[in-house]
Structures are given as structure tokens and as C-alpha cells.
Amino acid sequence: MCLPPSDVPCFVTKVPPRILEDDPRNIRNLYEQLRDELENIEEILEGLRRDVRRLKVLLLILCVLLVILLVTR
């Protein structure tokens, strides 16, 4: 049995705007989310770079101390 057009729920005949994937608002929001995620990743990478620099300095100091210890024996 077919329902007359007036009895058909609106979601059957019309797609709500929030579902449209091509909606510029959705694309803009997705772009902003991705940009924020990229900024977060860049901050994490910068922190890792600082940690690597510190570890290199500590390793260099450790090597110098080891050489001094071996030479003075």
C-alpha cells in the first residue's frame, strides 16, 4: 500500500542537510579538524625533536666520561 505524499515522512523525501557529504559546511569543518590534528602532530614532533637533541647531548657526555675513565686507568 502506498502512502499519499502528505503522509510520507519528510526524511523519506528530503535529505537533512547534516547528511549531505558535499555540503561546504561539512567540508570546512573537516578541513578545520584536519588542520588542528596536523598542528597537534607538529607540536608532538617538535617535542620529540627536543628530546632527541637532549639524548644526543647526554650520550656525548656519557661517551666523554667513558673515554676519560678508560684513559685514566
Distance, in Å, from the CA atom of 43 to the CA atom of 35, rounded to the nearest integer, reads 12
Give just the sign of the alpha carbon dihedral 13, 18, 23, 25.
positive
CA separation for the pair 29, 20 (Å, rounded): 13
pLDDT digits (tens, 9 = 90+) for 30-52: 899 999 999 999 999 999 999 99
Q: Is residue 14 part of a domain?
A: no
What is this structure's pTM? Answer: 0.55
The answer to whether position 19 is within a domain reads no
Amino acid at 44: I
Domain that holds residue 60: 25-73
Q: Whole-angstrom Cα distance, residue 21 to residue 15?
A: 11
SS3 10: helix
Q: Which long-range contacts (CB under 8 A, 24 or more apart) does 20-28 make?
A: none
For residue range 8-38, list pLDDT tens digits in order: 555 555 655 555 666 677 788 889 999 999 9
Domain membership of residue 57 (yes or no) is: yes
